[in-house]
Amino acid sequence: MNRHAALANGYTAYPRSGQGTFSISPHKFQPRSQPALRRRRQLIQRICLIGGVSFFLLILIFPSWRASILPALSLGLLSSSDHLQIQTVRYYDLAKVKGSASGWEDGDRVLMCTPLRDAASHLPMFFSHLRNLTYPHHLIDLAFLVSDSKDQTNEMLENMLEELQRDPDRDMPFGEISVIKKDFGQQVKQDVESRHGFAAQAGRRKLMAQARNWLLSATLRPTHGWVYWRDADVLTAPSTILEDLMRHDKDVIVPNVWRPLPDWLGGEQPYDLNSWQESETALALADTLDEDAVIVEGYAEYATWRPHLAYLRDPYGDPDMEMELDGVGGVSILAKARVFRAGVHFPAFSFEKHAETEGFGKMARRMGFSVVGLPHYTIWHLYEPSVDDLKHMEEMEKERRAREAEEKAEAERAQRTETYFKDPKVESEIDNAFVRDSVEEEEKAKDATPEKSDSTPEKADSKTGKGKYMLDDKHDKKPQPKDDKVKGDADVDTKTEK
Ligand SMILES: *[C@@H]1O[C@H](CO)[C@@H](O)[C@H](O)[C@H]1NC(C)=O
């Protein structure tokens, strides 16, 4: 069930003139009326016809009238005129929609594509980003693909889109909006191993590729000069991102994508490892693989030693610096529409041993388009703690509470001791007090920190555990770190991680 919604308040990509194209005349086969009445009606019809024809002739004789008169006629007075009759034929000159470097000034329409899967919790943030975009909203057409969602994604999307398009601020509403629903049967099992295990990757990436192709081919119009792919789970991105990327005037361009982490995991981390440059090692590796094999970056199984866009980031580097890429990640891609029109797509098969966005980058490259990344222009992907992270955070919280309780007890004891020493009490009383204290303390400790002793080895684990998020730990055999690293490809699949 596909819904193509052009909400009343939006800006249509086409002149709105289609009304009546398919109208039916319901009175055509009514029983005939009285002959006199009929004759009179025929007379009136004839007069109208003659009037219309002479009017038409006048227009032919005085061409200068046309410009002033025809717009009025298009309101329906004489919609049978030859020039206006065929509303179902549209003419486009694709030479005029080539995607210019200053599209916001040249009126370039942008198709913004967002695949969604169980993304209800991200939608408020995504819409906040949408509203903040500085690129003229009426030049942006939105396209969503909702697939395999079990949460409220569809309903929420509908409501938020209506709200957006009804916004009283005339700069808010976007152009045409397409919401496309299609399930692809992403049926990877829910447990950590199978979802993010190495074996599942190729299949998942191929399905994602199909989803992107469906979305794009259903929504790309001749009016679009640019296509912007943007994931729903981007946390922070400049509101000028479209202009910033467009200004480079490249066929395909991506920013760097990192994600923030809790302090105990190092504060931040490269996220999207799918943007890379080809390496000799990887090419040699590719040669040894099956025709159908798909290399996915970030897995120990394929040590490619490629230069990744993500690792080249310098927070103080020039955000305009460019780096040529072969593979690109899908979190945020700006591409000229002509790239897709020329036939480049997201391969749902092994193209040069790659699929989806990585294959897209390679294919664009192969067809002679420019593909670049900006190592020092960074957007931030949402951090969603993995099950392991959550467990660890719980431990830390327990430890913190235990420590607090301990400190409190310590403070109380110190105060009491002080009081005892101030008072001229006999030694035995003070001794008794210490005995009482230690008994109390033990009880308290039992209440407050039952797991205290258990948590010590965990803590040691967590220290090494931290290492698994470190960047050079690529060849760790544990599935967990790999999961995190390849999350960049997860796109539609990022909900309720692991
Ligand atoms: C959008 O802009 C508002 C106001 O500047 C800001 O508070 C909000 O965080 C922005 N939204 C996003 C998602 O960055």
For the segment 98-143, what is each residue's pLDDT rounded down to a tens digit?
A: 899 999 999 999 999 999 999 999 999 999 999 999 999 999 999 9
pLDDT value at position 452? 43
Q: Does residue 51 register a pLDDT over 90?
A: no
Q: Which of 126, 132, 234 to mutate to test the pocket of ligand 1 (most atoms within 8 A of CB)?
A: 132
Check residue 291 and give its pLDDT.
87
Q: How far is the CA of 336 from the centre of ligand 1 (A)?
A: 27
The answer, yes or no, to whether residue 32 has pLDDT greater than 60, is: no
289/283 Cα distance (integer angstroms): 10
Whether ligand 1 lies within 6 angstroms of the CB of 402 is answered as: no
Residue 265 DSSP one-character state:
G
Q: What is the pLDDT of residue 478?
A: 38
Centre of ligand 1 from the C-alpha of residue 256, in Å:
20
The CA-atom distances, in angstroms, between 422 and each of 410, 414, 432 are 18, 12, 16
Assess whether pLDDT exceeds 80 at residue 416. yes
Residue nearest to atom 9 of ligand 1 (CA): 128
Distance 124 CA to ligand 1 centre (A): 11
Compute the mean pLDDT over every residue in the chain, rounded to the nearest whole number.
79
Which residues have a Cβ under 8 Å from the Cβ of 317 and sit 6 or more positions away?
375, 376
Q: What is the largest CA-CA distance in the chain?
A: 131
Q: Which atom of ligand 1 is nearest to the CA of 129?
A: 13
Fold of 98-384: Spore Coat Polysaccharide Biosynthesis Protein SpsA; Chain A (3.90.550)
Q: How far is the CA of 128 from the centre of ligand 1 (A)?
A: 6
Calculate how far, in angstroms, residue 266's C-alpha sits from the geometric centre of ligand 1: 25
Q: Is 124 in the pocket of ligand 1 (CB under 6 A)?
A: no
Ligand 1 center from residue 236 Cα (angstroms) = 9
The tens digit of pLDDT for each residue in 319-367 reads 999 999 999 999 999 999 999 999 999 999 999 999 999 999 999 999 9
pLDDT score, position 266 = 82
- The encoded tokens of residue 316 equal 């103080």
Residue 293 tokens read as 């094999």
Could you tell me the end-to-end alpha-carbon distance of the chain, in angstroms, rounded to an integer? 30
Lowest-confidence pick of 9-18, 180-189, 292-301, 451-460: 451-460
Find out whether the beta carbon of 21 lies less than 6 Å from any atom of ligand 1. Answer: no
At 276, is the pLDDT very low, low, confident or very high (cuts 50, 70, 90)? very high
Under a CB-based contact definition with an 8 Å cutoff, are residues 205 and 188 in contact? Answer: no
Residue extents of the structural domains in the chain: 36-86, 98-384, 386-443, 456-498
Q: Tens of pLDDT along 428-451?
A: 555 665 556 666 666 666 555 544
Evaluate whether 261 touches 363 at the Cβ level (below 8 Å).
Answer: no
- 248-263: pLDDT as tens digits: 999 999 999 999 988 8
Share of the chain above pLDDT 90, in %: 48
Angle CA 79–58–18, to nearest 5: 15
- Is the distance from the beta carbon of residue 132 to the nearest atom of ligand 1 less than 6 Å? yes
Element (H, E) at 44: helix 35-61
On whether the CB atoms of residues 175 and 12 are closer than 8 A, the answer is yes
> Nearest 5 degrees, angle CA 271-CA 277-CA 280?
125
Closest residue by Cα to atom 3, ligand 1, is: 132
Question: What is the model's pLDDT at position 60?
Answer: 65
Task: Tell whether ligand 1 has an atom less than 6 A from the beta carbon of residue 129.
Answer: yes
The sign of the dihedral angle between the CA atoms of 58, 60, 65, 69 is positive
Q: What is the pLDDT of residues 317-329, one digit of tens each?
A: 999 999 999 999 9
Ligand 1 closest atom vs CA 131 = 1
Best substitution site from 128, 129, 130, 234 to test ligand 1's pocket, by max atoms within 8 Å of Cβ? 128
